Structure 1
């Protein structure tokens, strides 16, 4: 059984997306259960979701990571014991902390705590959300492996591109999907998105196995650069050196190192590496990155206890004078 959490603020399009995903998965023969927890929208969402080939169960009111902790844990354990479902889709309240929800699941239902998280972001209200609820938006993005930018059809193309870029910087571990979820839009998107949420995980008649997109750890850092900045070539070399150090003598580390920032004109540069021989540079800027940059290490194995010291050693040779500080997560929107 696989748990997928679908997060996002009220009205972002979560229900429309769930209908598209549910329809697609149902056509593949998967048995689906939706756990609904949307205060103020229960009747409407319940009616729409019951039209799909899946079962819906409601948690009355409240927030899945706050006053309904016990009810949610009990329900998930009951669902597991039933052995009837291939996929369980959890739609928490829009104000739920997805990071807190994951911690809750990892503590009380550890076999489900590493389920994937998908967040829906409303493009038409993105600017408002970044001003009104920046910490909660950052929480949602940091916890997600896939981000759907809904109502992209209502915004100018250049604005959609700008927002998508900010989301990719704020959530470097996630894929971003600009979309129109109305009509058949969610179902069309599901053809691309749904397989990525269950890729390599299981066939309906097979027991779940570990997938390449499975459990991971992530650590974020802010990097204050010296006045000379960090040239693109030096940034690429730095990421490659960090990946090499994480690989160690066995050269069997699986993960990503991502570094990004801006030049003096505000153009962006992103450097990403998975092995010492696979480091890519993209963005609008040829460098150098100036002022402040951000570094994220994502690993499918336990990160070393001395990660901070290891990164500082690599940094000392590539950017003398730079200062590295651990942070909870990269902010959204990214402020450089």
Structure 2
């Protein structure tokens, strides 16, 4: 029988990996064997490193979006999981700028369609960042279009970070989401905790829905000619990544100050660093106005990844270097 694939989508920093950890624990408790295909926008998959210790077979697709520039690699990566591990199910965590229907479309290509089937599409929605009002379609930015498509084509909408938003915004946001998708259930997720069984059972409902066999490009032909779209990384919506490897331990206060002062053009930041004060490894995450750090589980490479539009690369690299403590080994 075809192996069920659960697709996790959601914009940058919306909580997909935290949710994935919850689902992996639930699957393990059921006695099922899971595998993970992780799609990362940068040079190194931070989220895969965060899964260390789960003993789950994982394959990375890095430096691109699974629905566009690395689409050709999806078949090979998925077949590797199927042939080497024969899991009971597969979780595919897409990069935050991926479009769900384009990924579903790629899973219908041979030989994948004989080995796997789409069992459910989840969209994590950051309650602190998703816009309550959107301009008309052809006035939307590529990023806005991506966020809308992720919501419209999800089988379940998962509201994250609701503890950071006032009740009136949560109520208004649920109304805005209902205008985009009036058929899929909306569940609230707190620190990655959600009814995992309900999510895994969504496949029974999905089986009764008609999914398209092919999908339209992200942008209409009136906006982007097909030959141009193939040459440009339009699936990223103008986003780019910056990768920096720390050469020394980091002053945590300087790093926090750096994150709080990041310009609006930076949509996401994450990575690992060694704290100069206590010598321990920490992970850090940045979304606008909500930077955070936490102890890392074990030894990690020390680096930072920033994702955004029109990044001032030289200036940001200098600021990251300034977070390091001189004469301190990595």
Instruction: Write out aligned runs for 1:11-22 (5 A).
Output: 11-22=13-24
Residues 139-196 of structure 1: per-residue CA shift (max 9 Å, x gap): 1112210111111110101211111122123112311112222xxxx2x31xx1x222
Once the two structures are superposed, the pairs formed by residues 275-294 of structure 1 within 5 Å of their partners are none
Which SS does the other structure have where 1:162 is aligned?
Answer: helix
Distance 1:121 1:130, change over 3 A: farther
Aligned residue number for residue 257 of structure 2: none
Separation in structure 1 between the aligned mates of residue 25 and residue 43 of structure 2, nearest angstrom: 21
- Worse overlay, 34-43 or 97-106: 34-43
CA 1:28–1:39: 2 relative to 1, 3 Å: same
Q: Structure 1 residues 176, 41: CA separation in 2 closer, same or farther (over 3 Å shift)?
A: farther
- Between stretches 34-43 and 140-149, larger displacement belongs to 34-43
Counterpart check, 1:156 vs 2:169: no
Question: Computing the radius of gyration over CA atoms, which structure comes out larger, 1 or 2?
Answer: 1
Aligned equivalent of 2:157:
147
Q: CA RMSD in A?
A: 2.4
Q: Which residue of 2 aligns with 1:330?
A: none
The aligned runs of 1:169-248 (5 Å cut-off) are 169-181=179-191, 186=192, 188-189=193-194, 192=195, 194-199=196-201, 211-217=204-210
Q: Which residue of 2 aligns with 1:127?
A: 131
Judging changes above 3 Å, is the alpha-carbon distance between structure 1 residues 218 and 110 closer, same or farther for their aligned structure 2 residues? closer
Deviation at 1:11, TM superposition (A): 0.8
For 1:197 and 1:15, the matched residues in 2 are separated by 15
Q: Structure 2: how far apart are the matches of 1:48 and 1:29?
A: 22
The Cα offsets for residues 207-259 of structure 1, whole Å up to 9 and x where unpaired, read as: xxxx343152279xxxxxxxxxxxxxxxxxxxxxxxxxxxxxxxxxxxxxxxx
Q: Which residue of 2 aligns with 1:75?
A: 77
Q: The residue matched to 1:10 in structure 2 has which SS?
A: coil
3-state SS of 1:107 partner:
coil
Given the alignment of the two structures, is residue 96 of structure 1 paired with residue 98 of structure 2, yes or no? yes
Over 3 Å counting, the alpha-carbon distance change for 1:169 and 1:78 in structure 2 is: same
Give unpaired runs (5+ residues) of structure 2: 136-140, 213-330
The aligned residue for residue 313 of structure 1 is none
Contact 2:123 2:154 in 1 (8 A): yes
Distance 1:34 1:154 in 2: 29
1:47-104 deviation digits (Å, cap 9, x = unpaired): 2112224222211211101121121112222333346201111011111111111111
Matches of 1:120 and 1:129, distance apart in 2 = 18
- Residues 167-176 or 128-137, more deviating: 128-137
